[in-house]
Amino acid sequence: DSVILPEGTHHLVLHDGQLAVVSDLWQSWDTTHIRVFSVTEDGSVQLQSTETVEGRTVGVRSVNGHLRILLETSNRDQLDFVSPWEDNLTEEEALEHNIEQIERSTIDQWMPRIFLSGVTKSALDCNQIAISDQSPTAQTTTWIATRDIHSDDVTRGQLGIMSRADAMYATANSVHFTTTAWNSDVEWPQQPGPETSVHSFSFNANDTMYYLASGTVPGETIGQFALNEHGDELRIATTRTVDGISESAVTILTAGDDNTYDVLGEVGGLGLTERIYAVRYIGDLAYVVTFRETDPLYVVDLTDPTQPYAAGELKIPGYSSYLHPIGDGKLLGIGQDADNSGRTRGTQISLFDVSDSSNPLRLDKVDIGGASAAEYDHKAFLWWPAGQFTATADYDGTVTVTRLD
């Protein structure tokens, strides 16, 4: 069988004969559609349920068929907020209007909604939403919805924070999301670089969420691969700007008793004048790729979280934007080849030997040319250990297969 999906961005989760399709449709960017299908080995597909929730999808994860969907809902859909630069108003006029909207609002207008069978209901109760000292905003609520795709239960909201969301990182027991913002109160050139706030939630044995901690670090991230949970530690790699010069760092955080992240340790000074293109964490090591003209691959030792350090470095032309471990102390890197001036020349797959953290090596490379979707979306990349080959999807729909000898 085949199912025609509306145009949009779709997240697919397949578990034990159940297929969930979580969609942001281009015709309704401010809502997320959740469809659950049953699929059989003979290829038949049958729609079982359809739901719509308010907000755009930031990320989707599944733990044994339990969906965890991170959503960002604009409160401006229910509250008529204005801004000086969008509505041609003075700051005083916009502030007066928005205060009036808040004073006249009801609790329901602040809640994200779920639409099911013609019935609209709030996805969260008032006591399930918090406002944090880190990256607060009155215009956006980021919240987590869960759904067991093997049951008839409907999607339910868990917890939310009044904040924007840029990226989602999750483990089997937790969800973290980040948001990056500039300090608009300080004018350029005195304006410092961006700061990234991270908000964390955990799940108990009953799949019920609770809030863990929030914190802020200098700089901006590349997305989910910049974060890593290791025991009670949360690691985050950022590119920051100091006195107009960029550099990168890996910071190790731990949640304090006041639900605020404390800094355990940090290693900075990575890739001066460059920015991060790829990060991968494996055990007590972080592999960080920065780039401007050449591609330094840094190996960062995080064994002692209070004293992390750069153990090794490899400089080669070009860069990797996705790193994939393949075992035996080896990494695959997918990115762009470049000349000595930093001008890119096409997609390249590199094989790295990182068995000696003090001396990373590039063993081989394959130049594919053009641009690959795998450079920006790791789901467009496949490593098949049994056959020792990679498959990368290109933007034109073709797939390039490369075998390791």
State residue 189's pLDDT score.
Answer: 55
- Selected residue with higher pLDDT from 177 and 243: 177
pLDDT of residue 183: 65
Mean pLDDT of 33-41: 94
pLDDT tens-place string over residues 215-233: 999 999 999 999 999 999 9
Whether 185 shows a pLDDT value over 60: the answer reads: no
CA 157, 160, 166, 170 dihedral sign is negative
DSSP string, 235-302: EEEEEEEETTEEEEEEEEEEE-TTSBEEEEEEEEEESTT-EEEEEEEETTEEEEEEESSEEEEEEEE-
Residue-wise pLDDT tens digits, 273-292 = 999 999 999 999 999 999 98
> Could you tell me which residues are beta bridge partners of residue 393?
399
Dump pLDDT digits (tens) for 122-136.
Answer: 999 999 998 887 766
Instruction: Indicate the average pLDDT of the chain.
Output: 91
Instruction: Write the CA distances from 210 to 127, 174, 176, 308, 352, integer angstroms.
Output: 12, 9, 12, 30, 40
pTM of the predicted structure, to 2 decimals? 0.92
On the CB side of 284, CA atoms within 13 Å amount to 11
pLDDT tens, position by position, 314-333: 998 889 999 999 999 999 99
How do the domains of the chain map onto residue ranges?
Answer: 1-161
Confidence at 187, pLDDT banded by 50, 70, 90: low
